[in-house]
């Protein structure tokens, strides 16, 4: 009979922890949030020898158990709370072969909590090139643990790691450091007051301001007060603890770790001098971005056109082949076009995540963060704001959550408020369909014109975020600025498995999450568009018959348009049309804008549903939008109206979910309300000026 064990995967940032997690779990993983908070939680299942199954929890990266951010608090709360369902039976600490000394600080702290702890030394394939030799047997003896020397890149040593995890009960829980030697008087008194408790765990509870610790602290204050000291006293003891631990680590590495600097190459240094250069660093980043946006159009046009045509065929087939009791019109005119409006963009979204994953895997993204820090400071942002702003190109929600690493409240608040200006992947379908309609597929100096426009709008969103940050920085009260420290990881060849898993996970999440919203909205829109109040809608055939028609096909087309205009959906659209008409939009676009507040990508699905309701002809969504006309016969989607619409989406608040996460992160409805009003006003004004300028 198989047994399930809990495994906590812990490590410093940039040690390859995610690669180890992917090797252990493969596709058997899921992503969620920790209960009560919005810190991302990655969990997976791993099959081990002897029929043992392990639930592997990938914890946020942390440098030590002296927490300074909410992500690090998550690690400590789990390791201190045995009642937590995810409390680990064994901890696996992933370290980097080149930074083993720093990584061992975290290892010794976790091991001293009496948790069976395995040390994983990753990137062993780099040892010879870096002139490193490690006596793993002696290292395991001195640390009282098992040491797995692995290469996640070459999939070496992973099986041995699985064997160690399966036999975790054989691992010693003997601590690396006797905590009493830091201050015998204080810790002796603490031990006498709580004789049955783990002394190092008590020390963590006293010094760490985490949720579980606060509960324990109240109990401790009732049972005894001999441990209570000033904050400065406790800080001094923490510093002494760190010194003692590094003294122990130095003594261990002196016997087990040899690095011959003469064999190490300086390729990383030479690359850094170019990629982080004050001028060439930005030029290279610009060229990389341009190449990505060119590829999004040049490589994905064939699969996108294929998907578009197939959904049109599928919709036409559904109208004539699905039994009447299954509501064929709902399926053919509501559900299929709505879902088709999202699936068509899967190739480009998958490619976007492909390039982002490669940039992260190679270590280049950290260099981007470094060079952008110089720019951020001029606009009143922390260097740490770069990470949320860049990750906002995927989704604003995790990007806003990432601001928790910014200690300065003003800088964190400003970052939260301006992050939605960056172009997220949900805006990508809107840009792609509109650019395809209004921008010719031509070359300008060898570059695809459509790719250039897409890049311009990405940069426009980022520029508006910086401008908004500058304004907020000037009008909000001043306080002490924070300082930004970023670790430059080694350059690496991207792991194919990691890239594929990222693409699959992110694309699947995008399609499934968007699909739920779009499916519900498509059904609602179809119902509203297929029904209307009073006799005006019911007598549509008689009203249309009064006009002069030349064929049955023309009659059907006029009837569909008349019903849509006088339906519940048409009434709503007509009601808001006076507000949006100065922007160059008709009432159908107005409906799409309102419905897309649930999620930006719903815009295309909404138009697909509206244009397919009662449409007798088989057409792709792009052709249907291109043929749309105002009552005077002029086209709806022109250069002026298309650019106006893209500017509106570039500046408008992204979705309800973004507002909800801003409310949670700021603990107030004030800031999300201000954010919604201001961004909507900026979007409306920007769209108005754009339309008036290009239509002049």
> Are 190 and 146 in a shared domain?
no
Residue 459 lies in a domain: no
Angle of helix 639-651 relative to helix 670-694, nearest 10 degrees, comes to: 160
Report the chain's terminal Cα–Cα distance, integer Å.
77
- pLDDT per residue as tens digits for the range 254-294: 999 887 655 555 677 788 888 888 889 888 988 887 787 77
Angle of helix 199-207 relative to helix 211-223, nearest 10 degrees, comes to: 110
Q: Which letter does DSSP use for residue 485 in this model?
A: -
> Are 531 and 608 in a shared domain?
yes
The dihedrals phi and psi of 4, each to the nearest 5 degrees, come to: -100, 135
**Beta-strand relationship, 40-47 and 29-33:** antiparallel
> Are 662 and 624 in a shared domain?
yes
Higher pLDDT, 146 or 214: 146
Please spell the DSSP secondary structure of 43-79, one letter per residue: EEEEE-GGG-EEEEEEPPP-S-SS--SHHHHHHHHHH
For the chain, the 3-state helix, strand and coil shares in percent, each to the nearest 5, are 65, 10, 30
All residues at 6 or more sequence positions from 310 whose CB lies less than 8 Å from its CB, including other chains: none
> Are 148 and 191 in a shared domain?
no
- End position of a domain, from candidates 110, 145, 170: 170
- Using an 8 Å Cβ cutoff, are 514 and 342 in contact? yes
Report in angstroms the alpha-carbon separations of 648 from 43, 396, 488, 634: 38, 17, 37, 22
Q: What is the pLDDT of residue 493?
A: 81
**Beta-strand relationship, 117-122 and 90-96:** parallel
Residue 199 lies in a domain: yes
Token couple for 196? 């049955």
> Are 50 and 199 in a shared domain?
no
> Are 186 and 156 in a shared domain?
no
Largest CA distance in the chain: 101
> Are 142 and 209 in a shared domain?
no
- Please tell me the distance from the alpha carbon of residue 621 to that of residue 607, in angstroms, as a whole number: 8
The dihedrals phi and psi of 301, each to the nearest 5 degrees, come to: -65, -40
Q: What is the pLDDT of residue 30?
A: 58
217 has pLDDT over 70: no
Buried b (16+ CB within 10 A) or exposed e, 153-173: beeebbeebbebbbbbeebee
**Unique residue bearing structure tokens 């919709």:** 315
Residue 363 lies in a domain: no
- pLDDT per residue as tens digits for the range 133-151: 899 999 999 999 999 999 8
- pLDDT per residue as tens digits for the range 531-582: 888 787 878 788 777 775 556 666 776 777 778 778 888 888 888 889 999 9
Higher pLDDT, 434 or 323: 434
Half-sphere exposure of 104 (CA within 13 A, CB side): 26
Q: What is the pLDDT of residue 543?
A: 78
Q: Report residue 308 CA to chain centroid gap.
A: 28
**Unique residue bearing structure tokens 């908004």:** 468
Report in angstroms the alpha-carbon separations of 433 from 201, 405, 626: 57, 36, 10
Angle of helix 17-25 relative to helix 496-529, nearest 10 degrees, comes to: 70
| 3-class DSSP assignment, residue 33 | strand
- Please tell me the distance from the alpha carbon of residue 59 to that of residue 198, in angstroms, as a whole number: 23
The pTM (predicted TM-score) of the whole model is 0.62
Residue 642 lies in a domain: yes
Percent of the chain at pLDDT > 70 equals 84
Q: Which letter does DSSP use for residue 333 in this model?
A: I
> Are 669 and 532 in a shared domain?
yes
The pLDDT mean for the chain works out to: 80
Token couple for 539? 């007598």
Neighbours of 669 (CB within 10 A): 11
Q: 659: domain range?
A: 498-694
Burial class (CB in 10 A: 0-12, 13-18, 19+), 143: buried
- Using an 8 Å Cβ cutoff, are 659 and 672 in contact? yes
| 3-class DSSP assignment, residue 343 | helix
Angle of helix 346-362 relative to helix 364-378, nearest 10 degrees, comes to: 90
The dihedrals phi and psi of 289, each to the nearest 5 degrees, come to: -60, -45
Please spell the DSSP secondary structure of 141-207, one letter per residue: HHHTSEEEE-BTTTTBSHHHHHHHHHTGGGS----SS-GGGG-HHHHHHHHHHSTTS-HHHHHHHHH
Residue 360 lies in a domain: no
- pLDDT per residue as tens digits for the range 652-664: 986 777 787 788 7
Residue 424 lies in a domain: no
Total number of domains constituting the chain: 3
Half-sphere exposure of 72 (CA within 13 A, CB side): 16
- Using an 8 Å Cβ cutoff, are 482 and 382 in contact? yes
- The beta-strand segments (E) located in 378-476 are 443-444, 447-448
214 has pLDDT over 70: no
> Are 165 and 238 in a shared domain?
no
Residue 79 lies in a domain: yes
- Please tell me the distance from the alpha carbon of residue 507 to that of residue 553, in angstroms, as a whole number: 40
- Using an 8 Å Cβ cutoff, are 591 and 572 in contact? yes
- pLDDT per residue as tens digits for the range 174-198: 999 888 888 888 888 888 888 778 8
| 3-class DSSP assignment, residue 100 | helix
- End position of a domain, from candidates 139, 170, 201: 170
All residues at 6 or more sequence positions from 666 whose CB lies less than 8 Å from its CB, including other chains: 413, 416, 672
- Please tell me the distance from the alpha carbon of residue 397 to that of residue 380, in angstroms, as a whole number: 22
**Unique residue bearing structure tokens 């397919």:** 612
Residue 92 lies in a domain: yes
> Are 164 and 219 in a shared domain?
no
Higher pLDDT, 228 or 437: 437
- Please tell me the distance from the alpha carbon of residue 653 to that of residue 646, in angstroms, as a whole number: 13
Token couple for 330? 């709902």
- Please tell me the distance from the alpha carbon of residue 405 to that of residue 394, in angstroms, as a whole number: 19
- Please tell me the distance from the alpha carbon of residue 139 to that of residue 144, in angstroms, as a whole number: 8
Token couple for 460? 């426009």
- End position of a domain, from candidates 224, 259, 294: 259
- pLDDT per residue as tens digits for the range 579-628: 999 999 988 888 888 878 766 767 877 777 777 654 444 456 677 788 88
- Using an 8 Å Cβ cutoff, are 616 and 561 in contact? no
Q: Which letter does DSSP use for residue 422 in this model?
A: S
Q: What is the pLDDT of residue 36?
A: 42
**Unique residue bearing structure tokens 């290892």:** 107
> Are 146 and 215 in a shared domain?
no
Token couple for 87? 């409390």
Burial class (CB in 10 A: 0-12, 13-18, 19+), 93: buried
The dihedrals phi and psi of 313, each to the nearest 5 degrees, come to: -60, -45
> Are 507 and 596 in a shared domain?
yes
Tell me which residue of 95, 73, 69, 34 sits closest to 384, measured CA to CA.
69
Most confident of 127-136, 464-473, 614-623: 464-473
Most confident of 53-67, 133-147, 320-334, 501-515: 133-147
């Amino acid at each position: 009979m198989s047994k399930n064990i809990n495994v906590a995967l812990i490590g410093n940032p940039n040690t390859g922890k995610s690669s180890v997690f992917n090797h252990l779990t493969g596709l058997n993983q899921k992503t969620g949030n920790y209960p009560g908070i919005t810190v991302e939680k990655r969990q997976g299942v791993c099959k081990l020898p002897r029929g043992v199954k392990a639930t592997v929890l990938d914890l946020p990266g942390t440098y030590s158990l002296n927490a300074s951010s909410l992500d690090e608090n998550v690690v400590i709360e789990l390791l201190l709370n045995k009642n937590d369902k995810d409390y680990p039976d064994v901890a696996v600490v992933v370290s980097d072969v080149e930074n083993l000394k720093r990584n061992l600080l975290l290892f010794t702290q976790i091991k001293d909590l009496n948790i069976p702890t395995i040390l994983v030394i990753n990137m062993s394939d780099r040892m010879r090139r870096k002139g490193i030799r490690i006596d793993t047997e002696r290292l395991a003896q001195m640390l009282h643990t098992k040491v797995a020397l692995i290469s996640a890149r070459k999939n070496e040593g992973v099986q041995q790691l699985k064997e160690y995890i399966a036999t975790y009960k054989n691992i010693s829980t003997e601590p690396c450091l006797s905590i009493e030697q830091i201050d015998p008087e204080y810790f002796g008194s603490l031990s006498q007051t709580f004789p049955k408790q783990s002394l190092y765990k008590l020390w963590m509870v006293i010094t760490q301001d985490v949720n579980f610790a606060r509960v324990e602290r109240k109990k401790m204050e009732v049972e005894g007060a001999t441990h209570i000291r000033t904050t400065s006293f406790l800080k001094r003891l923490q510093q002494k603890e760190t010194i003692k631990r590094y003294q122990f680590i130095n003594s261990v590495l002196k016997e087990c770790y040899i690095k011959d600097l003469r064999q190490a190459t300086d390729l990383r240094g030479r690359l850094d001098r170019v990629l982080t250069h004050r001028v060439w660093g930005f030029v290279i980043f610009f060229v990389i971005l341009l190449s990505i946006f060119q590829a999004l159009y040049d490589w994905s046009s064939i699969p996108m056109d294929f998907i578009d045509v197939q959904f049109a065929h599928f919709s036409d087939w559904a109208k004539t082949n699905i039994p009447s009791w299954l509501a064929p019109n709902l399926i053919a005119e509501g559900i299929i076009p709505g879902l088709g409006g999202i699936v068509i963009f899967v190739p480009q979204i998958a490619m976007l995540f492909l390039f982002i994953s490669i940039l992260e895997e190679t270590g280049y993204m950290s260099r981007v963060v470094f060079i952008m820090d110089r720019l951020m400071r001029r606009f009143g942002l922390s260097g740490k704001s770069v990470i949320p702003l860049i990750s906002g190109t995927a989704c604003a929600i995790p990007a806003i959550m990432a601001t928790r690493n910014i200690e300065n409240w003003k800088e964190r608040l400003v970052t939260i408020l301006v992050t939605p200006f960056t172009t997220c992947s949900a805006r990508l379908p809107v840009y792609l369909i509109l650019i395809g309609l209004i921008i010719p597929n031509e070359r300008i100096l060898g570059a695809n014109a459509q790719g250039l426009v897409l890049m311009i709008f990405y940069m426009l969103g980022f520029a508006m975020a910086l401008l908004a940050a500058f304004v907020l920085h000037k009008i909000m009260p001043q306080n002490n600025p924070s300082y930004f420290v970023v670790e430059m990881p080694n350059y690496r060849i991207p792991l194919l498995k990691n890239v594929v898993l990222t693409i699959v996970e992110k694309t699947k999440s995008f399609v499934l999450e968007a699909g739920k919203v779009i499916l519900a909205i498509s059904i609602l829109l179809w119902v509203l568009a297929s029904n209307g109040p009073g006799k005006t809608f019911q007598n549509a055939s008689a009203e249309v018959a009064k006009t002069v028609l030349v064929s049955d096909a023309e009659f059907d087309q006029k009837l569909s348009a008349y019903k849509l205009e006088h339906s519940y959906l048409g009434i709503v659209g007509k009601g808001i049309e006076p507000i949006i008409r100065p922007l160059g939009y008709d009432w159908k676009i107005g409906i799409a804008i309102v419905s897309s507040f649930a999620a930006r990508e719903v815009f295309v699905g909404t138009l697909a549903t509206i244009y397919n309701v009662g449409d007798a002809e088989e057409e792709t969504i792009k052709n249907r939008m291109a043929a749309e006309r105002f009552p005077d016969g002029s086209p709806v989607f022109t250069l002026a109206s298309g650019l106006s619409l893209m500017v509106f989406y570039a500046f408008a608040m992204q979705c309800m979910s973004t507002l909800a996460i801003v409310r949670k992160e700021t603990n107030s409805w004030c800031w999300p309300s201000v954010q919604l009003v201001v961004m909507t006003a900026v979007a409306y004004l920007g769209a108005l000026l754009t339309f008036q300028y290009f239509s002049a």
